[in-house]
Amino acid sequence: MAEYVPGTCYLDSNKGLYLISIDPFVTKEASKRVCIIGAGANGLATLKILAETHQVQSGRWKLVAFEERDNVGGIWYHPQTSLFSSPPIIKDILN
């Protein structure tokens, strides 16, 4: 059973049995930690809709969004920048 993958059915030729495994990812469904990358319009919508679920309200799902800048808004959050200076949203432009 070197190739054993959770959540699938197997025919074990030695024992002549079907083995049905349980996916641990499914069974720990009760609690979920959700990471949201970015708090632009998309990240905020994710927080809003998920925060309304009974799973989040009962504390079973935990949400956190990480935003690299000092405010939400994403592409709409543009502190005025002078011409030819780097916009703050771009970190890896020269990569």
Partner 1 sequence: MAFPSFPFPPETSLFPTAAVVQKYLEGYARHFDLLRLVRLCTRVEKVFWDTDSREWSVTLSTGERLMFDFVVVANGHYSKPRYPHAAGLQSWLDSGRAMHSAWYRSPGGFAHHKTVMVVGGGPSARDICADLMGIIPLLLHSTPVSPSEIGVTYPDDTETYRKVGRVVEYRGGGSVLLQDGSIEPDIDLVILATGYEMSFPFFSQIRSGIPPLPPPLPNELFNSTYHVFPLALHLFPLRGDFPPTSIAFPGLLYRVAPLPLFEDQVRAIARVLEDPAALDRLSCAVNIVARVHALMCEKGTDDPLQIAKAWSRVALLEPFEYRTQLNVFAGKKWTASEWEIECWKNKAVLRREWKAIERSGKAGEWIKGVGMNGMDDWIVLSRSLLSKARHRAAD
Per CB under 8 A, contacts with partner 1 among 32-51 are 32-51
Binding mask 62-91 for partner 1 (x = CB under 8 A): -xxxxxxxxxxxxxxxx-xx-xxx-x-xxx
Please, which residue, 15 or 33, has the CB nearer to partner 1? 33
Q: Tell me if 57 contacts partner 1 by CB under 8 A.
A: no
Burial letters for 35-69: b for 16+ Cβ neighbours within 10 Å, e otherwise?
ebebbbeebbebbeeeeeeeebeeeebeeebebee
Reference 67, options 89, 87, 37; nearest CA is: 37
Binding mask 3-22 for partner 1 (x = CB under 8 A): --------------------
Neighbours of 70 (CB within 10 A): 8
Q: Tell me if 26 contacts partner 1 by CB under 8 A.
A: yes
